[in-house]
């Protein structure tokens, strides 16, 4: 798997098909140990994920790890427009900075002010001085500050004698609208269990647009009434209709939150009578959620304004030709195999085609000089 090309999503999809996989993060030693632990269970359908990066300290062990794979096997490789690969990297969520001490997931409607819920920031992995994503990360990855993530060519070279065939997937193949169909097709080719529920494949995973999810979902909002606790579940998942009633559209009419974000609000069936038997309770809950929903939508929209897109990345490379050429040198090596075997995928990458055009223009300018 390629860093920035759906590693989290693809890992989850494989597990949903009852495939044992090692963790896709960590250095080669960590991945080797985790793979060994997994492969001890020889009766299961196992797959080894080779992801992450190599640096001067880990490259020798990484190559040794690849060469310890001796069984002839097929390989799946998820690819993405290389410029689009940089988008989730530049905007990466800072998992180690996750503000768990500022997040309250069990909220008393009577005593917890709305303002306190939203007094929080999305922690980015590589922020500028204002806490926002920065294009300087593009330069840092060009310089291998965090390790060399352009190692697909190394993996293919070291594994060429054991890989039967590489099944290339484009990123679009594992997007929500296509992922169930893609895994079903792969299950027929590679003989693993097909996916069962398309619902589990229908949401975006680890998207830069939705980092806010980590701060606000799931939450339980509650209030006391005559010795009974009325609880609302606010989540992005569907809850059982046997236990809950869907109150989403009772509180939300925003197409953005309903369709794009996918917010759901549920009330336990046991609590319904308490909500509707007292007008004051009903009004208080409606007003509280009205404020919560308004602030939630504003928070999402403001956060999305910070996200750096592919056009901005390309423009940054255009005005920094030294960085442009560093990526040119990396990608010329990285994409040799897919250009030979799946040129149709490469041709579909519009940002990469623009990148190549920029490189040619720069080369012509240097020739004229």
Report the sign of the C-alpha dihedral through residues 235, 241, 244, 247, in that order. Answer: positive
Q: What pLDDT is stored for residue 21 in this prediction?
A: 86
CA nearest neighbour of 78 among 218, 210, 189, 172: 172
Q: Could you give the percent of the chain with pLDDT greater than 70?
A: 97
Could you give the CA distance from residue 169 to residue 74 in angstroms, rounded to a whole number?
13
Could you give the CA distance from residue 154 to residue 62 in angstroms, rounded to a whole number?
10
At 248-275, the pLDDT tens digits run 999 999 999 999 999 999 999 988 888 8
Return all residues near 194 (Cβ < 8 A) that are at least 6 apart.
Answer: 17, 183, 184, 187, 188
* Average pLDDT of the residues of the chain: 91
- Assign 257 to helix, strand or coil: helix
Q: What pLDDT is stored for residue 44 in this prediction?
A: 78
Question: What number is the average pLDDT over the span 287-304?
Answer: 96
Could you give the CA distance from residue 269 to residue 22 in angstroms, rounded to a whole number?
40
User: For residues 57-78, b (16+ Cβ closer than 10 Å) or e, as one string?
Assistant: ebbeebbebbeebeeeeebbbb
Residue 207's pLDDT band (cuts 50, 70, 90)? confident
CA nearest neighbour of 222 among 307, 105, 314, 318: 105
Record the tokens describing residue 62, joined without a space. 């990484």
Q: What pLDDT is stored for residue 278 in this prediction?
A: 84
At 26-76, the pLDDT tens digits run 777 888 888 888 888 767 788 888 877 888 888 888 888 888 888 899 999
Return all residues near 347 (Cβ < 8 A) that are at least 6 apart.
Answer: 353
The least confident of 19-33, 80-94, 173-187, 214-228 is 19-33
> Does 335 have pLDDT greater than 80?
yes
Higher-pLDDT residue of 40 and 2 is 40
Q: What pLDDT is stored for residue 1 in this prediction?
A: 60
Record the tokens describing residue 202, joined without a space. 């229908």
Could you give the CA distance from residue 201 to residue 179 in angstroms, rounded to a whole number?
6
78 in Cβ contact with 10 (< 8 Å): yes
Could you give the CA distance from residue 176 to residue 236 in angstroms, rounded to a whole number?
15
Q: What pLDDT is stored for residue 290 in this prediction?
A: 95
The least confident of 7-21, 56-70, 316-330 is 56-70
Residue 369's pLDDT band (cuts 50, 70, 90)? low
In this structure, what is the dihedral angle of CA atoms 79, 81, 84, 89, given to the nearest 10 degrees?
40
φ, ψ of residue 204 to 5 degrees: the values are -70, 140
Question: What number is the average pLDDT over the span 224-241?
Answer: 90
Q: What pLDDT is stored for residue 36 in this prediction?
A: 82
Could you give the CA distance from residue 160 to residue 80 in angstroms, rounded to a whole number?
22
Return all residues near 186 (Cβ < 8 A) that are at least 6 apart.
Answer: 76, 167, 192
Length of the chain, please?
369
The least confident of 29-33, 76-80, 148-152, 167-171 is 29-33
């Amino acid at each position: 798997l390629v860093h920035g090309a759906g590693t989290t999503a693809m890992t989850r999809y494989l597990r949903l098909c009852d495939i044992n996989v090692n963790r896709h993060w960590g250095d080669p030693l960590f991945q080797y140990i985790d793979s060994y632990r997994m492969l001890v269970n020889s009766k299961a359908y196992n797959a080894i994920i080779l992801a992450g990066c190599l640096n001067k300290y880990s490259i020798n062990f990484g190559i040794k790890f690849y060469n310890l794979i001796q069984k002839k096997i097929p390989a799946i490789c998820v690819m993405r427009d290389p410029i689009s690969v940089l988008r989730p990297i530049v905007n990466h969520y800072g998992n180690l900075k996750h503000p768990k001490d500022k997040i309250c997931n069990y909220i008393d409607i009577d005593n917890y002010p709305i303002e306190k819920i939203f007094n929080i920031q999305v922690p980015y992995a590589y922020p500028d001085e204002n806490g926002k994503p920065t294009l300087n990360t593009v330069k840092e990855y060009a310089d291998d500050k965090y390790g060399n993530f352009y190692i697909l060519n190394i993996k293919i070279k070291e594994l060429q004698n054991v890989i039967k065939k590489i099944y290339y997937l484009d990123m679009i193949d594992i997007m929500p609208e296509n992922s169930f169909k893609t895994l079903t097709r792969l299950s027929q080719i590679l003989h693993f269990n097909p996916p069962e529920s398309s619902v589990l494949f229908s949401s975006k995973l680890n998207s830069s647009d939705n980092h806010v999810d980590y701060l606000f979902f799931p939450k339980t909002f509650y209030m006391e009434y005559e010795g009974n606790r009325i609880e609302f579940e606010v989540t992005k998942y569907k809850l059982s209709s046997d236990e809950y009633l869907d109150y989403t559209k009772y509180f939300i009419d925003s197409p953005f939150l309903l369709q794009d974000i996918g917010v759901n609000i549920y009330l336990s069936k046991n609590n319904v009578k308490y909500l509707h038997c007292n007008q004051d309770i009903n009004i208080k809950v409606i007003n509280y959620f009205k404020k919560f929903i308004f602030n939630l939508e504003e928070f999402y929209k403001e956060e999305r304004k910070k996200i750096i897109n592919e056009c901005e990345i390309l423009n940054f490379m255009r005005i920094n030709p030294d960085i442009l050429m560093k990526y040119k040198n990396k990608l010329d090596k990285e994409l040799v195999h897919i250009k030979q075997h799946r040129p149709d995928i490469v041709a579909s990458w519009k940002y990469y085609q623009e990148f190549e055009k920029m490189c040619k223009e720069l080369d012509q300018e240097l020739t004229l000089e």
